[in-house]
């Protein structure tokens, strides 16, 4: 399952998430809330959202969920953990709307 996150409370609802991954997600969501407001409509208003792709998510599910090009991220940052890698890719869809894609994969 892919999670769409707009506020810190969305992150808290994800079951069985590694603490380091949770921290990465919270940091991204908190920046959006600080800059664009916690009460924004993540699909309509400025700011955007974070997509969390947990370990084991099928590639087909990601293709169905993402409605923009995954070719040109503005930023890619990877975090090596003990049993997996976590990568953050930031996509700027316009000057005031972004999607941060946080994905886990096996080492």
Q: Left (φ > 0), alpha (ψ -120 to 50) or beta: where does 47 sit? A: left
Q: Which residue has the tokens 């974070």?
A: 50
**Structure confidence at residue 102 as a pLDDT band (50, 70, 90):** very high
- What is the pLDDT, as a whole number, of residue 73? 93
Residues 6+ apart with CB under 8 A from 74: 90, 91, 92, 98
**Predicted pLDDT of residue 69:** 80
Measured CA to CA, the distance from residue 64 to residue 73 in angstroms comes to 18
pLDDT in tens, 11-27: 999 999 999 999 999 99
């Amino acid at each position: 399952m892919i999670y769409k996150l707009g506020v810190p409370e969305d992150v808290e609802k994800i079951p069985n998430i590694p603490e380091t991954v949770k921290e990465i997600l919270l940091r991204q969501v908190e920046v959006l809330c600080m800059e664009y407001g916690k009460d924004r409509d993540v699909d309509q208003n400025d700011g955007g959202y974070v997509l969390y792709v947990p370990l084991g998510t099928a590639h087909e599910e990601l293709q169905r969920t993402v409605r923009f090009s995954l070719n040109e991220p503005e930023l890619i940052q990877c975090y090596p953990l003990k049993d997996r890698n976590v990568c953050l890719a930031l996509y700027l869809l316009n000057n005031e709307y972004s999607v941060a894609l946080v994905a886990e994969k096996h080492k």
